[in-house]
Amino acid sequence: MRDFSVDHRWLSLNTATVRKQGSLVEIVEACARRGIRAIDPWRDQVASVGLDRAVRAVRDAGLELSGYCRGGMFVADAAHRIEVRDDNRRVIDEAKALGAPCIVLVAGGLPQYSRVGSAASRDIAQARTQVHDGIAEMLEYATQANMPLAIEPLHPAYAADRACVNTTRQALDLCDALDPKRTGMLGVALDVYHIWWDFELMPQITRAGKDRLLAFHVCDWLVPTKDILNDRGMMGDGVIDIKSVRAAVEAQGFAGYSEIEIFSNAWWQKPMDEVLWTCIERHRSVV
């Protein structure tokens, strides 16, 4: 297991962590000042400064990407299927332009939440079928572009509105079904917030192996969690034994960035520099 205590060379910042404090360009510049070497930007943050300017800012700051957030939201009614396909092709094009190593996929939940305007449904089994088929379709274009896709299992609390892929086992079942030859083009993005509770986590990480482990995200689970979406904790403030999960992914050979992604009404209210300073300190002490 790598020693993170001496520096923060393996820290990546998911830019949603400070999305309320500045534009993507400002975040990139702040990361560069702090010696943070990598980011994972969100599409809306890229769009609001413009793709070309985002590409330049990342390149000028000498940053790498640890991923691009996000593709997916595959569940829709028939009227929105073309939108899903085209939207996910654009994600791939953007990720290529930005030099991302992979795209994080959030699968989508029920159609009325995944694609606004879709007819409402309670059929989560049907949603899962659409996710399977949607990834299969996206994977063709991604493979042509040589852009790996990382399925992120989301906490079951998001099953209805964000993702009906909710465990590492389920995500890996999809990988095995759609990429049985393990081409390197399909894997998982594991965020401790979503998966820490799972009694099967450790054997499923072993099952994943290095070539399916495309991204590793950290934050913490607070007790109580006051807001199911925007009350994630800074590492060390909650109950997750983060080091044991990192040890497990690194035992499989994962050697990439440890990406900090914190959706938090509390941390969004603090100055960007304080958040970044705290991220670096916690990365070294508890990740």
Quick one: 82 or 239, whose CB is closer to its own copies?
A: 239
Contacts with its own copies: how many residues (CB under 8 A)?
Answer: 34
Tokens 């769009």 label which residue? 47
Does position 267 interact with its own copies (CB under 8 A)? The reply is no
Q: Map residues 3-32 to x or -, x wherever contact with its own copies holds by CB under 8 A.
A: ------------------------------
Does position 239 interact with its own copies (CB under 8 A)? The reply is yes
Beta strand spans in the chain (E): 11-14, 38-40, 64-65, 68-72, 103-106, 149-151, 186-191, 213-218, 258-260
- DSSP character string of 238-268: SS--HHHHHHHHHHTT--S-EEE---BTTGG
Closest approach, Cβ 177 to its own copies, in A, equals 12
Cis (ω within 30 of 0) for the bond into 43?
no
Quick one: 195 or 275, whose CB is closer to its own copies?
A: 195
Q: Which of 32, 145, 159, 247 binds its own copies (CB under 8 A)?
A: 159
Query: Dihedral of CA 149/154/159/164: which sign?
Result: positive
Q: Map residues 106-125 to x or -, x wherever contact with its own copies holds by CB under 8 A.
A: ----x--x--------xxx-
Q: Which of 96, 97, 143, 156 binds its own copies (CB under 8 A)?
A: 156
Does position 246 interact with its own copies (CB under 8 A)? The reply is no
Using the rule CB under 8 A, give the single segment among 20-28, 181-189, 194-202, 264-272 that binds its own copies. Answer: 194-202
- Residue 218: φ, ψ to 5°: -130, 150
Using the rule CB under 8 A, give the single segment among 20-28, 57-65, 223-231, 248-256 that binds its own copies. Answer: 223-231
Cα 89 to its chain centre, rounded Å, is 18
Nearest-angstrom CA–CA distance, 187 and 102: 9
Nearest-angstrom CA–CA distance, 265 and 116: 24
For binding to its own copies (CB under 8 A), which residues are involved? Answer: 110, 113, 122-124, 128, 155-157, 159-161, 164-167, 169-170, 173, 196-200, 221, 223-225, 228-229, 238-241
